[in-house]
Structure 1
Amino acid sequence: MQLQPIKQSFQVQYDYQLYFTSGLFTLENPLFVNLIAAYKDFEPVKLLFVLDDGVKKHHPALVNQIQDYCKEHKQIIKYTNTLVLPGGEQVKNSDEAIESVLKGVNENKICRHSFVVVIGGGAVIDMVGYAAAIAHRGVKLIRIPTTVLSQNDSAVGVKNSVNAFKKKNFLGTFAPPFAIINDSNFLETLEQRDWISGISEAIKVALIKDKTFFKYIADNATTLKNREMEPMQYVIYKCAEMHMHHIAQGGDPFESGSSRPLDFGHWAAHKMEYMTNYELRHGEAVAKGIALDVTYAQLTGLISEEDLQHILDVMNTIGFDLSLPVESPVEVQSLLDGIEEFREHLGGQLTITLISDLGVKHDVHTIDMELMSQAITKLNHQFALN
């Protein structure tokens, strides 16, 4: 008897929402408790909080506020503990940090009907999301991002990751959060470089998807640099909206194909982060990566010199340092090696997203290494002396 293959297919519906507020854990703000109650209102839901130590430093009363808020709503929320862990990209290099979260899940008996609530920048959110996704094959996660970059990009997607083997995001999962909550109060205490850094992700999506949005960023470059909250809130909202729309409508939320338009500028960014031992913020590296790729696009004839200079001027006005951290031929080659490492990480055919006009993406599958070297030289010649 010959047995025929058994085939099966199924679909899973994912739903998650991004909320906007200020003063999330003030007693008069009902957003958080209502969100938990909407999940399960017949018994208290157990919560484990994980807090970025940089956020704790700038908001020293936050842990007490969280405890008071949970106590006020104890019929809905069962507070267990708040773990405080280091922030920044280095936390994604640390097995210790992952173990701390997993230990917290275990010791506080966080199950798949409980929540891990992470409050911090993109790196902490990435790491905690990975730990939550592998604990019990996935416990529910609420993300509360506290930087511009995490509020408009990294925390609004479906990816979680840590670094391994000297490669960024080598270990990771696709696991959508239960919800994301953007609290604008956290932005007020950011260092200037962190305020600016996340704007690069907005520039990224604007350049590949929306010329009008890029014009808004260009027209507001100075006010964004000067920390005016209204234009920044619009940039965060629009960037997050476009990011989430791409995930839902792009037909490839778990990135099984080769094209990754939301990784525009990222092949070089990831490599430069590693080359600088992560002294570069991710958003700072993305700005440099975008600057390099648009310079290459101009050298290949995809965009005009006028458009190139306009893009670079906008980023420069916002405050980005667009010089590349490479000087010697060995460093240049190391940066160029990032192209193949990028392909290896994503799998499939090499696909690098460039632009052929403002707001128009253009994928290429080969890179002229000599021309890319010229782009590095051209960009550094323009900005290294500034």
Structure 2
Amino acid sequence: MTTVDSPSVTGLQIHTDRKSLRQALHTVGMTVARTSPIPALCGVLLETDEHSLRVSSTDYQCTVTTRLPARITTPGRMLLNHHELTKLLTGLGKGLRTREAEDMPVRLRATDDGTGQLSAHGYHLSVTSYAPEEFPDLPRAEASCAELDWTTFTHQAQRVLVAADTDREPSMPALSGVSVTITPNQLRLVATDRYRLAIADCPATTTHDTEQTVLIPAELLASVITRLTGQRLRIGLTESGMATLTTETTTVIATAPDEHARYPKWERLMPTGGTTVRFERDPLARAANTAAALATATDSDAMVLRLAGDRVALAPVVDDDPETVTAPWHPLRSGTIEQPMRMRFHAERLADALSTLHTSTVALTVTGSYTPAVFSDDDGLFRHLLMPMRTPRR
């Protein structure tokens, strides 16, 4: 435990509880480096205001700031090593009952030589600290342009993230992000990896009459929806085009995956016309999981979706022959296919698509065996487009 470029603390002393401090460190941990040539990026900046403590982290691409209740004895700033402080707080709770550990009073302060100190449960522990001046200047969150229910947002975001391109070096950097478009009274989330496309709509209170779009890194969004908590979410844009996500206690400010990235014009992929049928989701989702497992067992990556009259079936493709395996038929709830159709899909992607649908009855829109198919919830708020696989020439 060391002090770097003392004094690293400007007189701060605060009192809070172990649970609140651990939760704050967990929230900002999404952007903290374990090791870095810039030591300050391994730290969390602690700053006081009248009745709370602000905890911030950044990796230059993203900044996270959260607030927690605290009793401020001496206002000031402190930059402490995140990993070390987290481990110490974890260790202090060992051997105690959960409630006793969570409610444990803790104190953070500067010692006379400028080192950060954590005190709790009779222990006084030094924490590696850095000069607050070495911490990058934090961008300012602008006024929000949309507000919506946090639970609705996280629910819809989880569904579209399935379709995001998660490759470390995607051929199109924009595809590693989720497109967020704000229009009057609505927020739309879109993600694609070129083989599938997920679209989710959320009702929102908006402040602009014109359309606004921002790209949020998919990996960051996945962390945000698991680490943040709240009742309402406000979304805004900074003057430089960065996205801001704000709950009651936390603000996340993020740059796009590539500042020059342009999200593809996905609307042209959506089929027009065609035939729409409806079926019960659960039986077909189970059939998709079975077909995907059988495809894997036979060293295949494909399954075939068969539509005929008022029935639908899913079967694994074995030896590149979509007719090798027979499979049970499931009745359609509505709609009829006049000419039998056979569509070949990537097995895992089709199973994923069905898993993202949440209404008991779902819709399938098709225009042909070799054109995109769209699966959608019955309420129309979520759609998942899948590109079919071409049948190899024999």
Q: Which TM class, normalised by the smaller chain length?
A: under 0.3
**TM norm structure 2:** 0.26
**TM norm structure 1:** 0.27
Structure with higher Rg: it is 2
Q: Give the number of the structure whose residues are more often helix, by fraction.
A: 1
